[in-house]
Amino acid sequence: MLFQFNVFAESDVSIAKSFEFKSKSLRENRTIVVSLPDGYESSNARYPVLYLLDGVQNLKHVVGSVDVLTRVGSIPPMIIVGIKSKSRMKDFTSTKAAGIEESGGGQAFLNFLGDELIPYIDGKYRTNEFRVLEGHSVAGLFTAYAFMESPNLFDAYIVMGPAFWWNKEEPVREVKSFLSATPKFDKKIYFGVGKEDGNRHALKRFVEEIKAAAPSELVWKHEEFDDEGHMSAPLLNNYFALKFIFSDMKLPQEIKDNFTSKKFLEHEAGIMKKYGSAARQPQEIYVPLAMELIKHKDYAGAVNVFRRNAEAYKMNKYPQNYVWLAEALEKNKEPAEALKVYKQAYELSKETGYGELEKLAKKIAGLKAKL
């Protein structure tokens, strides 16, 4: 690491830090940008990593989408690692093409990711085992090459407007061979493209091969977006790709319809084990579910859901999360615990200026008198 500086979205808001990485395998320095999730410094959580090709160019819109989806609980907080290429044709093509002298360096770039950059990131930051690779255009070509050439390096792939026209649609031929030799492939792959992007036709032929011979356990999706071209589609591609990749975080309808605290807590433990302890449901799931449980007088279940909601959204410092939990505890005949939680709500309300201090003080005094 030679030096470090901030990358700014605005003059006073830093969204990432950048450093020069000296690669032995590539025999050159590479600019790497790293965006850490909110709360990283104050937590002990480990986070999935999104490796973003053309990382400097795409950083702003990807950080924005990740921020929105993380805040609402659609995806887990994650570390974004962007890689800047000096020659895209060199890095992102695995074979030589006539007239493109620098082409064919894809294997060396893949070695750089697997042998150097990923171990460095895992050593420096609190990462968990889940890794995503994202690329657009020729970087999308490389992303597809990566899952065929080194399928265990990443857990999910985002392939956007890929240049599958390369060498007379070489990737379309390669994926057919890959699929025939790979009966099992426990990964997630998202293919996205604008309907005005000329690359959509070769991508469609690539996807047809997957549709015909998808390995067991492969989870994949192909989407085309109206009124979007090659350069405008990545914003939407990235947003919907992330929702797709982490869609298993969402509480299954079966658990909501046939609720037991055991099944609910097992699901929550599962997403935290897979995606890090900061993974969570949207509050739009937790709160209505708990309210419905109260209607059906499953107060213990409501306590479990409201407690999970309060813990998962602790960083928001929203007093009402604790009020809901305290009310459920009262209904579940746990006045001592309810008192503790009402006190938390009171202190948060005082700290944040939320209000309701008089109402909370009365609840606290009333419970104290009962106890």
CATH number at residue 207: 3.40.50.1820
Say yes or no: 187 and 200 in one domain: yes
Q: What pLDDT does 355 receive?
A: 84
Say yes or no: 213 and 324 in one domain: no
Q: Given a cut of 60, is residue 311 above it in pLDDT?
A: yes
Q: Which residue has the tokens 């990235």?
A: 238
Q: Given a cut of 90, is residue 130 above it in pLDDT?
A: yes
Q: What pLDDT does 14 receive?
A: 85
Say yes or no: 135 and 270 in one domain: no
DSSP letter string, 199-212? THHHHHHHHHHHHH
Say yes or no: 264 and 150 in one domain: no
Domain boundary among 228, 249, 270: 249
Give the domain range for residue 77.
4-249
**Domains in the chain, number:** 2
Going by the DSSP 8-state scheme, the letter that residue 252 receives in this structure is P
Say yes or no: 241 and 272 in one domain: no
CA 317-127-8 angle, 5° bins: 65
Q: What pLDDT does 171 receive?
A: 97
Which of 312, 364, 317, 315 shows the shortest CA–CA distance to 342?
Answer: 364
Share of the chain above pLDDT 70, in %: 97
What number is the average pLDDT over the span 337-351? 96
Q: Are 90 and 65 in contact (CB under 8 A)?
A: no
Q: Given a cut of 70, is residue 309 above it in pLDDT?
A: yes
Say yes or no: 180 and 290 in one domain: no
Give residue 91's pLDDT band: very low, low, confident or very high (50, 70, 90). Answer: very high
Domain boundary among 214, 249, 284: 249
Q: pTM higher than 0.85, yes or no? A: yes
Share of the chain above pLDDT 90, in %: 92
Say yes or no: 21 and 83 in one domain: yes
Q: What pLDDT does 322 receive?
A: 97
Say yes or no: 330 and 240 in one domain: no
Say yes or no: 227 and 314 in one domain: no
Handedness of CA 107, 108, 111, 117 (dihedral sign): negative
Q: Given a cut of 90, is residue 99 above it in pLDDT?
A: no
Q: What pLDDT does 12 receive?
A: 63
d(C-alpha 185, C-alpha 152), whole Å: 9
Q: Given a cut of 60, is residue 9 above it in pLDDT?
A: no
Express each pLDDT in 57-70 by its tens digit: 999 999 999 999 99
Q: Given a cut of 70, is residue 3 above it in pLDDT?
A: no
Give residue 118's pLDDT band: very low, low, confident or very high (50, 70, 90). Answer: very high
Q: What CATH number corresponds to the domain at position 363?
A: 1.25.40.10
Tell me the CA distances in angstroms from 22 to 112, 119, 175, 362, one per residue in order.
11, 14, 33, 62
Express each pLDDT in 278-293 by its tens digit: 999 999 999 999 999 9
Q: Given a cut of 70, is residue 192 above it in pLDDT?
A: yes
Domain boundary among 233, 249, 265: 249
Q: Are 53 and 62 in contact (CB under 8 A)?
A: no
Q: What pLDDT does 2 receive?
A: 36
Give residue 6's pLDDT band: very low, low, confident or very high (50, 70, 90). Answer: very low
Say yes or no: 293 and 241 in one domain: no
Q: Given a cut of 70, is residue 318 above it in pLDDT?
A: yes
Express each pLDDT in 209-250 by its tens digit: 999 999 999 999 999 999 999 999 999 999 999 999 999 999
Q: Given a cut of 50, is residue 5 above it in pLDDT?
A: no
Say yes or no: 87 and 127 in one domain: yes
Q: Which neighbouring-strand residues pair with 360?
A: none
Provide the 10 A C-beta neighbour count for residue 61: 14
Give the residue, 168 or 13, on which the prediction is more confident: 168
